[in-house]
A = this chain, B = another copy of it.
């Protein structure tokens, strides 16, 4: 008998459960940790019992538990093999949100992310492996991006009404990497302020703070969106050279910039020589039926950045920017570009997924997110907290009532009971305001959301 199976289980007898349950749990964990790849054959029941020094009845009981939960595939005549249960691979919510990914938290609502589209990713990976030969004989060092991926991205912009040549695309290791590179290239006068939304995406704030950029906050609220009068006044008064905006399903508020505002922002940018970096990471997570038709935020002074992290999977770490071909040429010479380029294999996988499979994957993802958003909104009814149901994206921006605890207190209380949350000040340009707000992602399953909101309500009444 091949003893690899038994060795992969490790020291499982130290568990305090009954033996059959402990054995089943050990098999599950070995599959999750990758010690037993899906498809690994099990020894026969008799062999297992002998190798593990268990009664055959205990082994049979353990295998029954695994089979009932979907961890075993049994084919008549060819024995059993381990697998990942279908309920884990056919889902939008990532595993770690449901089992409580953050250390010490049973429920983690700090991440607004989804699991990978399992079958499509596996197929893309297999195809990328087939195509990888020519990459491997190359140096693997940074380029502007695989020609195929640049062409595909340019074509997607062009079809969406924004004529784009492949030379205008630079592939990066995610949208934050694109922002880092753009700041290094364009934010050369470091005393000049950078305009950001308030609240803003914390990842972008981190990048800006790492460069010690002075931040000019522009208020964004869920019901009213971007305060363009404030924007115009700020631009005239402080003369920022750069702005970072999330016009499509803004993180965290979910606000969506209307067509007139997009035109106004682009015109203002032109007039005041303001370069706008428009983060479109959420753009394709439009949950309206039918989806809206707002154009890209675009213009001579607008640079678009995007990523696969929200529409496909964070684990890909593939993003891009769209700018003039001249700026892309300059960025290619920036010494930071080399460390901000994604691995060629991930680019191949992204190119596969962003092609033919994407429309179905997005349709599926949108349907699930819409259901989860509506479920979350239902749970919040009657709480006294206010919010606008977001038209897209992954998060709901909650305003607590004025009488209860503040967001940071509430988050601390929730953390003590095993629920991790991100309070408003994390999204504030000044780090201290927005104390009455919480961001709730609806990327978790309805069951997780139900448990989370119950816990949250209980924390308020303590």
Contact = CB atoms under 8 A, between A and B. Distances in A.
Interface string A115-157: 1101001100110011111111111110000011000000000
Interface in A315-352: 315-317, 335-336, 338-339, 341-346, 348-349
B84 A133 contact: yes
Nearest to A202: B335
Interface string A90-120: 0100111100010000000001011110100
Interface residues of A, number: 75
A101 B143 CA distance: 10
Contact of A115 (B126, B136, B345): B136
A130 B38 contact: yes
Given A37-B131, A345-B345, A141 B122 contact: no
B137 A89 contact: yes
A339 B37 CA distance: 28
A314 B140 contact: yes
B97 A139 contact: yes
Contacts of A129: 122, 125-126, 129
A37 B348 CA distance: 13
A300 interface: no
Given A95-B137, A139-B315, A173-B317, 13 more contacts: A34-B131, A84-B134, A94-B140, A96-B139, A113-B139, A115-B137, A116-B135, A116-B137, A122-B136, A138-B315, A173-B173, A174-B339, A345-B345
B38 A133 contact: yes
B203 A184 contact: no
A275 to B, nearest CB: 18
Contacts of A122: 129, 132-133, 136
A84 B176 CA distance: 36
Nearest to A126: B129
Question: 3 closest A-B pairs (Cβ-Cβ)?
Answer: A140-B315, A206-B335, A94-B139
B116 A314 contact: no
Contacts of A32: 134
Contacts of A176: 338-339
A345 B89 contact: no
A217 to B, nearest CB: 18
Nearest to A147: B33
B348 A346 contact: no
Interface in A13-52: 31-34, 37-39
A101, A133, A174, A205 — most chain B CB neighbours (10 Å): A133
Interface string A62-91: 000000000000000000000010001101
Main secondary structure of the interface of A (DSSP, over half): helix
A76 to B, nearest CB: 24
A47 to B, nearest CB: 23
A348 B137 contact: no
A439 to B, nearest CB: 15
A333 B112 CA distance: 17
Nearest to A39: B130
Interface of A: 31-34, 37-39, 84, 88-89, 91, 94-97, 101, 111, 113-116, 118, 121-122, 125-126, 129-141, 147-148, 173-174, 176-177, 180, 184, 190, 202-203, 205-207, 209-212, 309, 313-317, 335-336, 338-339, 341-346, 348-349
Contacts of A138: 94-96, 101, 115, 315
A259 to B, nearest CB: 31
B136 A116 contact: yes
Contact of A339 (B130, B139, B177): B177
A313 B190 contact: no
B336 A210 contact: yes
Contact of A336 (B31, B131, B207): B207
A95 B140 CA distance: 10
A236 to B, nearest CB: 29
Contact of A343 (B126, B133, B317): B317
Contacts of A33: 134, 147-148
